[in-house]
Amino acid sequence: MSSWSNHLPALQVIVPMLTAPLVLLLRPSGLAWAATTIASALAFAVAIALTIGVLDGQSFSYLMGAWPAPYGIELGVDAFSALVLLVVTGASTVALLAGRESLNLEIDAHRQPMFYAAWLLALAGLSGIPVSADAFNIFVFMEISALASYVLIAGGPDRRALPAVFKYLLMGTIGATFYLIGIGLIYLMTGTLNLADMELRIHEVADLKPILVAAGFITIGLALKAAVFPLHVWLPNAYAYAPNAVTVFLAACSTKVALYLLLRFDFFVFQPNLAGHDVQFAYFLMPLAALAILIGSSVALLESNLKRLLAYSSIAQVGYILLGASFVSLSGLTASVLHIFNHALAKGTLFLAVACLTTRCSGLRLENISGAARSMPWTMAAFVVAGLSLIGIPGTAGFISKWYLILAALNEGTVGIVLVGVIVVSSLMAVVYIWRVVEAAYFGDAEAGGAAHREAPPALLAVTWIAALANLYFGLSPSLPLALSTSAAETLMRHVP
Amino acid sequence: MSAGHTILLILALPVAGALGIALAGRIGANLREAVTLVCATALAVIVWGLLPEIMSGERPSFTLAEVVPGIDIAFRVEPLGMLFAALASGLWIVNSIYSIGYMRGNRETKQTQFYAFFAIALAATMGIAFADNLFTLFLFYELLTLSTYPLVSHKGDTKTLRSARVYLGVLLTTSIALLLPAIIWTYFAAGSGNFTSGGILAGKLEGPAVGLLLGLFVFGIGKAAVMPVHRWLPAAMVAPTPVSALLHAVAVVKAGVFAITKVVIYIFGIDFLASESSGNWMLYVAAFTIIAASVVALQQQNLKRLLAYSTIAQLSYVVMAAAILKPLAEIGAALHMVAHAFGKITLFFAAGAIYTAAKKTEIHQLRGIGRRMPWTMAAFTIGALSMIGVPPTGGFVSKWYILAGAFDAGSYIAVATIVISTALNAAYFLPIVYLAWFARETSTPANDHGEAPLAAVLALTITAALTLAFFFFHQPVLELATQIFRGAP
């Protein structure tokens, strides 16, 4: 193993984190954007290098300051974290590349350096969580990313973002506090913060009641962060009123990181140590997942603000990810992890298309985009491709994860068949809500809509199309995310007794 | 070159053609049309070149990619698909000639886009014809829907968009809501979705589930226009006539009935389906569609809409023939795909020629038009006779086989349906023929027109000749169709 590749996990966080204060100093806003984008692209490159290493069978473990674990802080990367890192850094890079023009419209030039610094901190925090093997370190990264995200969401010109972000702040803080209480309890009983060490030390604990309480706190806390139904109320407005580029970035990855942590913590620490925990885990999360899927999709059916519509669809998609995990089976977890990747692709592309629409339309209600497809055929074509992926049509990435999810559900007997019904019904609802957008844009009256007769800016459109083509590519040749998610599921299942 | 590469070439050629058309469109109209014709001819030559191999019993196949374990994008040339591909690619040449006359004659806009999407639609058609499994079939089926949408909405005005919405809405919804679940169900029940001689579902499903799955397929494949999912076809008539002619009389609608026939023969297996009574309804639904669509056609005043309803009825002939579940009838289904294609494309060509030359679209306007446009109306008459099934036209041959199959199965409902619908066909086609030839023009038209542009007349003469020729020379097609049940899988 070459020596430089050992440092990749640390670089993953250090690059964006150290660029953040530098960006503050770059006054002409173009430079700030360029520096941020370069740092984000570098982080993406690091994530790709890590992924290649992981696929080669390399395992990354990095001891901060060379202090041995469990006393020092350990960083580690396996297939699961590599996949999440790809999503986080990829989403950030794509959003930055696409978002230059729309961010210029939305954020005053003199505030831009601060905004981009916050962006980099959010990126550092979100990528810090997957690389950390230490529960408290994760908490710190979680707070960094959360505080930075509040700034990003509130950074736009839309004043409605302020109450939205206040709600997000309250709920997010409660979530983080719950998580901290959970870790505190475990630390009290085991004296360690290293996840791998916790798994071993809990064996020695005589009274498991505090651990059980900790499991409750951590699960609820992270479920809040991940917008698991019914703890999702912060999400729709936060996505809807944030600047468009921020929505692309956060919608693709922020809830995914919380879900990653939820699964990692649960499978690494609690599944091997708490008797019957797999059943509790399944019984607790499966109904919530099914409800999230059905209710999220139903609300999306009725929603007429495009961004809120997509946000409610995200709540349903979180449900899919959780549903796969709640089977506590290899195939279920594969589907779940795969859907983290595929949904990020689909939803990221959809929000990119929305960003395209924003540059030319007077608003984002369905009547505002009426007839937009006539003046913006490329934008809407990309929207349709991503929409098909969201629905799960063969040939797109969304199909692959739904296929695995159904495969996993059918292993669950009668309950599984009911759940397949849930998946099918909600996919049909997705057809309807995507169709409502298509209907407005393709068949609506162009005179009534506020669309200017121009296609979106070329740079934005090009990035949108790259993302749309990625949906098709990973739908026809899904070996990369599939290899990562299979390996991730195997790692997780190894901890289930 | 191996057979696998030939398949890949067949799929890639129209796509490359579409790119070439888009580029050539910037240089000049003549070059663009030349690219279209060259591409169509090359495609037909390559597709027809596969024929001897298939006739000798070979089944070249090619796997493009394994998407996930158990799901491949794979192609295999079998007799039915060969027939469909040969038909579509051959008629694309004629249709391209016709398009040139029609599009120029009517000074249509966005012609480059028109030719490019036409080529992509042909690529999708080839994919459907050669698909070796349900997954691949589905991919190209959806591609065909999406690539024909710009053709249907070509005119772009409000009325056209309203119809295009029905077109896209019905085809997408049925395929996603019904066909896709049917495909997924099949994969889980049978463990694969490969088209296999004798079917793959025998012993894997039983009872009402068979009928239900068949229902998902028959109504999910909306392109076959079995009632009540037929509304998209009359709606699609807002497209320029060459689109109606090749796509909505041949490629798209035949893709529908072709898919249903393939599912019946290679997924269910006719013996298995015959042994399960829950699938019997398919015959009745098809019979109902034939009669109902013919009755609706009787009331149409617009020529293209009349032809659309006639198509709905004729498509259900194929579906009904497939549902009779006897080899003779399945062969009849295959023959009818060809016979109807020749006849109906001629009729549409004629309707388009009338529109181009005289700007007439309604039936009552056609009094005495036969004298002004003798070639066109002669071709129209031949096409109409073929729809009715009068010798010496192609329509007679296929009806003969379907009837033979119906007698073989003792299905008197099918026999009665064919008899009644023949009478109805005569009732709505013969008055037009009479008006055109024997009625007098009530007033001299504003423009004292003659025939349509030469390219259009040439095309419709060719297809009319093919309609007649099919009566005499259908032996090769028959042999090919017979191979479905004789040849090795």
DSSP state string for B51-83: HHHHHTT---EEEEEEEETTEEEEEE--HHHHH
> Is residue A241 domain-resident?
no
pLDDT at A1 exceeding the cut of 50: no
Contacts (Cβ under 8 Å, ≥6 apart) of A6: A60, A62
Of the residues B139, B140, B179, the best mutation for testing chain A's interface (the one with the most A CB atoms within 10 Å of its CB) is: B139
Give the mean pLDDT of B297-322.
Answer: 90
Tell me the two tokens of residue A461.
């459109």
Dist. CA B40–CA B90, nearest whole Å: 8
Q: Over B208-246, what HEC string results?
A: HHHHHHHHHHHHHCHHHCCCCCCCHHHHHHHCCHHHHHH
| CA B476/CA A172 separation, integer angstroms | 73
Chain-chain contact of A400 with B67 (C-beta, under 8 angstroms): yes
| pLDDT for res A104 | 84
Q: Between B418 and A281, whose confidence is greater?
A: B418
Q: Would the CB atoms of B165 and A478 count as touching at under 8 Å?
A: no
Q: How far apart are the first and last CA of chain A?
A: 32
Say how many C-beta atoms besides its own lie within 10 A of residue B275's C-beta: 13
Instruction: Give one word for A209, left, alpha or beta, with left for phi > 0 and alpha for psi -120 to 50.
Output: alpha
Tens of pLDDT along B227-252? Answer: 888 888 888 888 888 888 887 788 88
B177, B183, B188 member nearest A431 (Cβ): B177
Within a domain: A419: yes
* pLDDT tens-digit series, residues A307-352: 999 999 999 999 999 999 998 889 999 999 999 999 999 999 999 9
| Contact assessment for residue A489 and residue A337, using Cβ atoms and an 8 Å cutoff | yes
Q: Spell out which residues of chain A touch residue B73, defining contact as CB-CB under 8 Å.
A: 476
Partner B contacted by A482 (CB < 8 A): yes
What is the three-state SS of chain A? CCHHHHCHHHHHHHHHHHHHHHHHHCCCHHHHHHHHHHHHHHHHHHHHHHHHHHHCCCCEEEEHHHCCCCCCCEEEECHHHHHHHHHHHHHHHHHHHHHHHHHHHHCCHHHHHHHHHHHHHHHHHHHHHHHECEHHHHHHHHHHHHHHHHHHHHCCCCCCHHHHHHHHHHHHHHHHHHHHHHHHHHHHHHCCCEHHHHHHHHHHCCCCHHHHHHHHHHHHHHHHHCCCCCCCCCHHHHHHHCCHHHHHHHHHHHHHHHHHHHHHHHHHHHCCCCCCHHHHHHHHHHHHHHHHHHHHHHHHHHCCEHHHHHHHHHHHHHHHHHHHHHCCCHHHHHHHHHHHHHHHHHHHHHHHHHHHHHHHCCCCECCCCCCHHHHCHHHHHHHHHHHHHHHCCCCCHHHHHHHHHHHHHHCCCHHHHHHHHHHHHHHHHHHHHHHHHHHHHHHCCCCCCCCCCCCCCHHHHHHHHHHHHHHHHHHHCCHHHHHHHHHHHHHHHCCCC
Q: What are phi and psi of B131, to 5 degrees?
A: -55, 135
Interface of B with A (CB under 8 A): 65, 67-68, 71, 73, 135, 138-139, 142, 146, 156, 158, 161-162, 164-165, 168-169, 172-173, 176-177, 180-181, 183-184, 188
Taking CA atoms, B423 is separated from B383, B388, B390, in Å, by 16, 8, 11
Rounded CA-CA distance B386/B383 in Å is 5
Lowest mean pLDDT among A250-259, A410-419, A450-459, A487-496: A450-459
Residue B147 CA to residue B255 CA, distance in Å, equals: 14
CA distances from A103 to A37, A152, A422 (A): 13, 11, 39
Task: Check if A394 contacts B (Cβ < 8 Å).
Answer: yes
How far is the C-alpha of B290 from the C-alpha of A154, rounded, in Å? 62
Place of tokens 């603000």: A305
Cα–Cα distance measured from residue A54 to residue A60, given in angstroms and rounded to the nearest whole number = 8
Q: Report the mean per-residue pLDDT for chain A.
A: 88
Q: Is residue A251 part of a domain?
A: no
Predicted local distance difference test score (pLDDT) of residue A450: 55
In total, the C-beta contacts within 8 angstroms joining chain A to chain B are 52
Least confident of A102-106, A162-166, A430-434: A102-106
The rounded distance, in Å, linking the Cα atoms of A426 and A295 is 9
Is position A492 within any domain? yes
Query: Which residues of chain B neighbour A424 with C-beta distances below 8 Å?
Result: 181
Output the pLDDT for position B134. 92
Residue A305 bridge partners (DSSP): A365
Q: Are B401 and B337 in contact (CB under 8 A)?
A: no
Q: Out of A404, A428, A476, whose CB is closest to B65?
A: A476
HSE-CB of A268 using CA atoms within 13 angstroms: 18
Angle CA B310–B312–B316, to nearest 5: 115
B186 token code pair: 């099949």
Instruction: Give pLDDT tens digits for A280-319.
Output: 888 888 999 999 999 999 999 999 899 999 999 999 999 9
List the single residue in B68, B138, B161 with the smallest CB-CB distance to A443. B161
Burial class of residue B349 in the structure, from the number of CB atoms within 10 Å of its CB (0-12 exposed, 13-18 middle, 19+ buried):
buried
Q: What is the pLDDT of residue A67?
A: 79
Q: Hey, what amino acid is at B7?
A: I
Amino acid at B399: K
What is the biggest distance separating any 2 CA atoms in chain A, rounded to whole angstroms?
Answer: 73
Separation CA B201–CA B485 (nearest Å): 18
Chain B residue with minimal CA distance to A429? B177
**Model confidence at A448, in pLDDT bands (50, 70, 90)?**
low
Handedness of CA A21, A26, A32, A36 (dihedral sign): negative
**pLDDT per residue over A157-212, tens digit each?**
888 888 999 999 999 999 999 999 999 999 988 888 888 888 888 888 888 888 88
Instruction: Grade residue B488 by pLDDT with cuts at 50, 70 and 90.
Output: very low
Which amino acid makes up residue B407? F
Task: Determine the pLDDT at residue A447.
Answer: 66
Instruction: Report yes or no: B171 and B249 within 8 Å, Cβ to Cβ.
Output: no
Percent of chain B with pLDDT over 90: 21
Cis? peptide before B445, omega within 30° of 0: no
Interchain CB distance below 8 Å, A403 and B71: yes
Over residues A430-447, mean pLDDT: 84
Minimum-distance CB partner of A393 among B173, B176, B181:
B176
Question: Does residue A442 belong to any structural domain of this protein?
Answer: yes
Give the C-alpha separation, B286 to A68, whole Å: 75
B180 with A439: Cβ contact below 8 A: no
A483 Cβ under 8 Å from any chain B Cβ? no
Q: How confident is the model at residue B355 (pLDDT cuts 50, 70, 90)?
A: confident
A83 Cβ under 8 Å from any chain B Cβ: no
Task: Check CB contact of A422 with chain B, cutoff 8 Å.
Answer: no
What are the tokens at A92?
């950030």
Q: Do B162 and A443 touch (CB under 8 A)?
A: yes
Cβ pair A391, A350 in contact under 8 A: no
Is A207 within a domain? no
- Residue A62 has phi, psi (to 5 degrees) of -130, 125
Q: What is the ipTM of this complex?
A: 0.81
Go through chain A and tell me how many residues it has: 497
Q: Distance between CA A458 and CA A376 in Å, rounded?
A: 12
Q: In this predicted model, what pLDDT tens digit does every residue of B464-479 receive, in sequence order?
A: 998 888 888 888 888 8
CB–CB of B235/B305 below 8 Å? no
pLDDT at residue B458 is higher than 80: yes
Q: Is A448 on the interface with B (CB under 8 A)?
A: no
Give the whole-angstrom CA distance, residue B161 versus residue B153.
6
CB contact under 8 A, B188 and A410: yes
How far apart are the C-alpha atoms of A299 and B205, rounded to whole Å? 37
Q: How confident is the model at residue B446 (pLDDT cuts 50, 70, 90)?
A: low
The two tokens of residue A178 are 């719950």
Give the CA diameter of chain B: 69
pLDDT category of residue A63 using cuts at 50, 70 and 90? confident
What total of structural domains would you count in chain A?
Answer: 1
Is any Cβ of chain B less than 8 angstroms from the Cβ of A381? Answer: no
Q: What percent of chain A has pLDDT over 90?
A: 45
**Angle at CA of residue A138, ends A135 and A139, nearest 5°:** 90
- As given in the structure block, the two tokens for residue A353 are 């298309």
Q: How many CA atoms lie within 13 A of A156 on its CB side?
A: 25
Is A170 within the bounds of a domain? no
Regarding predicted confidence, which is higher, A243 or A273? A243
CB B390 within 8 Å of CB B339: no
ω before A394 within 30° of 0 (cis)? no
The span from the CA of B274 to the CA of B202, in Å, is: 11
- Domain ranges, residue A369: 287-497
Mean pLDDT of A210-239: 89
Asked if B399 and B389 touch (Cβ cutoff 8 Å), the reply is yes
For residue A206, the tally of other CB atoms under 10 A from its CB is: 5
**What residue type is A151 in one-letter code?**
V
